[in-house]
Amino acid sequence: MFWQKEFETMKRDKLEKLQLKRLKETAALVYNKVPYYKKLFKAKGVTPGHIKTLEDISKLPFTTRDDLQKNYPDKLLTIHHHDTMRLHTSSGTTGKPKAVFFTRKDIDVAANNIARCLTMTGVTKADVLQNMMSYGLFTGGLMMHYGAEKVGALVIPSAIGNTERQLLLMEDFKTTSIHLTPSYALYLSDIFEKKGPAFRKKIKLKRAYMGAEPYTEETKKKIEKILKVKVYNSYGLTEMNGPGVAFECEYQNGMHLWEDSYLMEIVDPKTDRPLPDGETGELILTTLTREGMPIIRYRTRDITAIIPEKCKCGRTHRRIMRIKGRADDMFIMRGVNIYPQQIERVLMSVAHVEKNYQIYLDEGDKIKVKVEITKKLFDGNLEHLKKLQADLTEKLRTEILVRPSVELVEPGSLPISEGKAKRVFDNRKIY
Ligand code: AMP
Ligand code: ZN
């Protein structure tokens, strides 16, 4: 199903023409209205007039997380903040947050993109969407709320946590779709397992939208099996309006990125060289329709690739692959680049492994993985435990090329996260 078929299936040449028009407008807007951008453009020796083709975007300066923090609270606005309507900040943990302002039109465009996402996965006004994301400065709550309202679904703003109440709402109001982080989904799936099949039979759940943090295909499969839902990957970031930037369609094979709102590039994060479709690198995004706070060539630090093939659904907006990691959450151990997602993928593919785990990096380039295992195995035969430990160690070594020490712990013994999970504890003195 389409929300705006004419835009979602627009011929590529027409779409690219629209992108170029919007890129020129956006570049002129920031150049003329935001002194900081004028300075960045001048430092690169470019003006908006230099943009003649879409490829010319590579002449423009990047915007980094640091630029946003330096211009905190409102120095990147094109208008006075009296003319904006909403503020969101990013969940960054260190230093000043990144503040993003929205006009009425900006919110409307963001909500419209989410309406496209929900509609392509089958949501209609007859659906009930329980939004289990925190409502506040984080975009996951309010932005998804506005998008689902646009479709006309009944939205339950249950926010995150208070799991017993979530289950009650789900049962009483016949929730069909939920929106949540993968870490909360893992927590929820534990509760579902405890409640047993009788509870699952009472509820009408069909789909889960999972995003806001990285997770693997294996985690997705685990959640699909336990919750008995289809899990759709949802990608977004505060700087780019939050959820609804890229989303899986009914074919669940990569996420369509709405190219009439964002211009995407993939660059080599080390050399900044643009990479062709299909190659893995850092995703760079430019807003094409934002009025209040347009952003040029934002370095997301997210590692992905553009899928060159057309999608069977007929949408012409290109897809990106599941996020492989962050250019900055990657860690280096004995010269090997390691993504926490690689470790998760191995853990989740092995029987008797539960959902919670932690990675410790210690002096002397030591890596320790603590992982919860099933109660039955934990209380059982020591030989079986040893075998699982050896098996995991070997599988992890093959994947990350470093031999970790593996500690098997009792289920429920690692701290549970209802927000974004902290998985990696780096105790090395790197600097
Ligand atoms: P925030 O601005 O706090 O919402 O965080 C945005 C960041 O969360 C992105 O830059 C990604 O690193 C991460 N993120 C969001 N959605 C996903 C997703 N579906 N898969 C992997 N990472 C994601
Ligand atoms: Zn598709």
Instruction: Choose the final residue of a domain: 305, 328, 351.
Output: 328
Half-sphere exposure of 305 (CA within 13 A, CB side): 10
Q: What is the mean pLDDT of residues 171-180?
A: 98
Ligand 1 centroid to Cα of residue 297, in Å, is 17
Q: What is the mean pLDDT of residues 411-421?
A: 80
What's 326-363 look like in SS3?
ECCCCEEECCEEECHHHHHHHHHCCCCEEEEEEEEEEC
Do 225 and 324 lie in one domain? The reply is: yes
Do the beta carbons of residue 74 and residue 81 sit within 8 Å?
yes
pLDDT at 421 over 80: no
Per-residue pLDDT tens digits for 347-382? 999 999 998 999 999 977 799 999 999 999 999 999
Domain that holds residue 374: 339-426
Atom nearest to 242 CA in ligand 1: 4
Could you tell me if residue 91 is inside a domain? yes
CATH classification at residue 382: 3.30.300.30
Q: What is the mean pLDDT of residues 300-319?
A: 97
Atom nearest to 140 CA in ligand 1: 4
Do 346 and 280 lie in one domain? The reply is: no
Q: What is the mean pLDDT of residues 182-208?
A: 94
Provide the number of structural domains found in the chain: 2
Could you tell me if residue 151 is inside a domain? yes
pLDDT at residue number 186: 87
Do 275 and 365 lie in one domain? The reply is: no
Could you tell me if residue 431 is inside a domain? no
Confidence grade of residue 219 (pLDDT, cut at 50, 70, 90): confident
Q: Is the CB of 323 under 6 A from ligand 1?
A: yes
Could you tell me if residue 366 is inside a domain? yes
Ligand nearest to the CA of 300: 1
Instruction: Choose the final residue of a domain: 274, 304, 328.
Output: 328
Query: Considering only CA atoms, which residue is closest to atom 1 of ligand 1?
Result: 237
Atom nearest to 214 CA in ligand 1: 21
pLDDT at 29 over 50: yes
CATH classification at residue 206: 3.40.50.12780
Do 130 and 187 lie in one domain? The reply is: yes
Per-residue pLDDT tens digits for 37-92? 999 999 999 999 999 999 999 999 999 988 998 999 999 999 999 999 999 998 64
Burial of 88 (0-12, 13-18, 19+ CB in 10 A): buried
Do 116 and 216 lie in one domain? The reply is: yes
Ligand 1 centroid to Cα of residue 172, in Å, is 31
Q: Is the CB of 326 under 6 A from ligand 1?
A: yes
Structure tokens at 422: 């902290």
Could you tell me if residue 334 is inside a domain? no
Do 236 and 381 lie in one domain? The reply is: no
**pTM: predicted TM-score of the whole model, two decimal places:** 0.84
pLDDT at 34 over 70: yes
Atom nearest to 323 CA in ligand 1: 21
Could you tell me if residue 333 is inside a domain? no
Instruction: Choose the final residue of a domain: 308, 328, 348.
Output: 328
Confidence grade of residue 332 (pLDDT, cut at 50, 70, 90): confident
